[in-house]
Structure 1
Amino acid sequence: MKNDPSKVKRGGEELLTEIALKAKVAEGKESIRRVLREIFRKGTIGTKSLAKRLFLPVPTIAAIRNELEKEELITRTERGAVLTEKGLKFVTKDLQFRFIEDLRCKRCFGRTIGSPGNFDELITQMKDFGSRRPRPLTEFDQAFARPITALNRAFLMLENDDLEGRSVLLLGDDDFTSLAIGLLQLNVKVTVIDIDQRLLDLISNIASERNFQIECLKHDLREPLPASLHSKFDTILLDPPYTPNGLTLFLSRAVQALKQEPNRRIYLSFVHRPPNEMLLLQKTILEMGLVFSQLLPGFNIYEGSEMHGNTTAMIILTTTSETRPSLTTTSFRKEIYTGEVNPTIRTYRCVNGHTILVGKSTIIHTIEELKEKGCPICGSKKRFLRIKRETK
């Protein structure tokens, strides 16, 4: 009688590889091991918490979790995933897990900076600013960072001597980092370039109310950077569209705007990617003559971007004598936004049970438009539940 292949005992590495293949994860078997280790250390942990801890997309975590459940290594509870008896035996015997204590700094959680004495006052004011923001526009890949993230960016730049007496450019500022800098009451001149006039108007109004030195310019970075902005700034911060073209375009504009001398810094916020994709990202950066000074995973926390676990990395780049932009001063006509590069059709359900398709090829293009116009069948503008997402 032949053995059932599913019942044949597999070694630790073999099983991890098999699960990774079934889950179709680009991060490979190491991501499976790390998910199991995190569940072992935490006891019980939810999908979103796993995504944040491991800097993996929520769909990737969900796919891994499903395969681990099929292997009966974990089970699901109301509070999240937990190891089964079989799973506990596997991680302690095959993977040799023992240590469960969390050694991350409980104050900065890997962000490497603390907070000034007036932090409570600053965060209260940032929350007030944030409450005045309009809805994010997904067609521009907008996902607002939390107030603490805008402040942490300002603290990081301040600690690195990239604010006081400096001229700072923000290429896009839906996160209001310019206002966080303003709250520090430093001698720093801030310029914001954004495509969204709503945000620019609000930043300008708040800056006027608070006497912050912030200049706002509306500009589509797909068009050449105005010559008056070339080689002008000491420090640049950007959170570009999370696509290869988006990174190349925004980073090229940043290099054009920086003073042409070594040791200037660019603060780049970008999504966590699998190693092979990170290799391409780093090649793009190195080809411009920039070097990596620091990479801080999970530094930025967002109110949206659940696909990315609500976090992105802060990458600090430094200029060299060989720094040059990849793109010239011509217009850029390639797709840069996620919805253009990877078009999707999302299916939502309104409170009355009607299903609505949302996407560039449908009648309703964005979730913001759906919320504004309401369900095309019943007119309801109340909560919409996303039930499916398909890539075209």
Structure 2
Amino acid sequence: MKTLVELAQKAREISGVRIYKKNVEAVLSALLKSGDFWEVVDMADLPVPAASGIVRALQEEGLLFIDDEENIRLTQKGLDMVRELGIETFVDYSCRACEGRGIPFYAHIDLYREFLQLTKDRPKAIRDYDQGSVTPETTIARVLFIDSRGDLRNKDILVLGAEDDLTGLAVALTRKAKSVLVIDIDKRLIDFDNRVFKELGIDNAEAKVWDLRNPFPKDMLGRFDVFVSDPPETLPAFRAFIGRGIATLREEGGVGYFGLTLRDSSVFRWRDFQISLTSEFGVAITDILQDFNHYITWDYHTETKAAEVAPVKREPKTIWYKSAWYRVEVLPGFKRWNEPISDDVFYLDEEGSTT
């Protein structure tokens, strides 16, 4: 029988992404809890190609099989190996009331209800711009977390390239920010926000169309106290979204919020992102809240690489795509980055799969 290290190497050869022993252990632990592939991806905290590669490697070694209903089951050989290695069933002690965020969306129930009412006819997420909307509960929890960290009231706030979640709209609905500017490439979202702002008489918020591959004009640099984003997870896209966000911050102590997943990025990629943040841009990472952002499965799931590489054809039945919520703070001497970005591999690479 192959060792976990050998199984990881085989999975890496199958998937083409970096995989190590711990990842195989995580998948085996998840399979003791669920036979649903998408739930396994969630529990194992892995990019879809990595989880798929591990499942296929285990299948080739006779350690699991996929039944007629596309449930993944460990064989007796697999169960014996798990027992010998002392691998136990995945456990999750996250608070059910706040969905593990530590920030219950219902703490500001009036804001939540208003947001739900106003966004009933919101534009749907589309594949063209790598969109995927978080749940309304996530959006409100984001705003409450921002407020709890002192980054909302009387602040100039920029939301860039992430308005498919309508976070900018939710921030504006608090009526607590000094100003709110939403920029996004999708004119549907911009028109939606501006219509709501006008209908509600929110005159300190506006939305504008902008492609973040293009540098900002000078009047955008050093103008804001806080930025919020949700970047695609290639290094060029990360630079375009987060680098530009940092460039708009007024001074040291300025703050940025954004999401990063372990569904489209590995911990190896996270290290690259974090090195870029701390060494290149000169910021401190103050908060990382794992699985804070819960995404509604997008309508175009069947057209994605994730659906193509998955070992099953069954679509997700529950929320499986989640991301961590990052807060960063710029330090003295931070770098403003505002260069043009090529659209080469802007949205997708070997680890990403949901575009």
TM-score (norm 2): 0.81
Of 153, 157, 172, the residue aligned with 2:142 is 153
Match of 2:170 among 170, 180, 185: 180
Distance change (3 Å), C-alpha of 1:185 and 1:334? closer
- The 3-state SS of whatever aligns with 2:213 is coil
The 5-angstrom pairing of residues 164-179 of structure 1 reads 164-172=153-161, 173-179=163-169
- Amino acid in structure 2 at the alignment position of 1:337: F
CA-CA distance at 1:138 after TM superposition:
2.4
Q: In structure 1, what is the equivalent of residue 31 of structure 2?
A: 39
Pick closer, same or farther for the CA change 1:115–1:177 going to 2, 3 Å. Answer: same
| CA deviations over 1:320-360 (Å, ceiling 9, x no partner) | 002112345xx444536326x78x9xxxxxxxxxxxxxxxx
Match of 2:250 in 1: 259
Task: Tell me, in whole angstroms, the C-alpha distance in 1 between the residues paired with 2:167 and 2:104.
Answer: 17
Query: Which whole-Å deviations, capped at 9, do the CAs of 1:81-131 have from their partners, x for residues lacking one?
Result: 2333222221121x2124664323333344232234443x54444344443
Change (3 A) 1:223 1:46: same
Shift, 1:19, TM fit? 4.5
Partner of 2:19: 27
- 1:113 — aligned with what? 103
The two structures, once aligned, show a CA RMSD in angstroms of 2.9
- The normalised TM-score by structure 1 is 0.74
Match of 2:92 among 74, 80, 102: 102
Q: 1:110 to 1:217 in 2, by over 3 A?
A: same
User: Does the aligned pair in 2 maintain the 1:241–1:336 contact within 8 Å?
Assistant: no
Q: Distance in 2 between matches of 1:182 and 1:327?
A: 26
Aligned to 2:317: none
Shift of 1:70: 2.5
1:134 aligns with 2:129: no
Seen in structure 2, the aligned counterparts of structure 1 residues 221 and 15 have a Cα distance that, compared at 3 Å, is closer
Letter in 1 for 2:140: L
Residue 356 of structure 1 corresponds to which residue in structure 2?
none
Deviation at 1:17, TM superposition (A): 4.3
The 3 A distance-change label for structure 1 pair 316 and 71 is: same
Unaligned regions of 5+ residues in structure 2, if any?
308-319
- Is the contact between residue 8 and residue 19 of structure 2 (CA under 8 Å) also seen in structure 1? no
| Structure 2 residue aligned with 1:325 | 336
- The question of whether the paired residues in 2 share the 8 Å contact of 1:75 and 1:84 is answered with yes
Of 74, 80, 83, which aligns to 1:83?
A: 74
Q: Deviations over 1:360-379 (max 9, x none)?
A: xxxxxxxxxxxxxxxxxxxx
Q: Aligned partners of 1:98, 1:333: CA distance in 2, in Å? A: 46
1:298 deviation in Å?
2.3
What is the deviation of 1:28? 2.1
Find the aligned partners of 1:16 and 1:245 in 2 and give their Cα distance: 28
Aligned residues: 329
1:359 aligned residue: none
Residue deviations 1:149-170, cap 9 Å, x none?
2112111101111111211110
Residues 213-262 of structure 1: CA deviation (Å, up to 9, x unaligned): 4211222233332322221211110112322111112222212211122x
1:36 & 1:85 partners in 2: Cα distance?
A: 13
Of residues 51, 57, 60 in structure 1, which corresponds to 2:47? 57
Residues 74 and 87 in structure 1, CA contact (< 8 A), matched pair in contact too? yes
Q: Give the structure 2 partner of residue 352 of structure 1.
A: none
8 Å contact kept, 1:192–1:217: yes
Letter in 1 for 2:282: G
Distance in structure 2 (CA, Å) of the matches to 1:128 and 1:325: 38
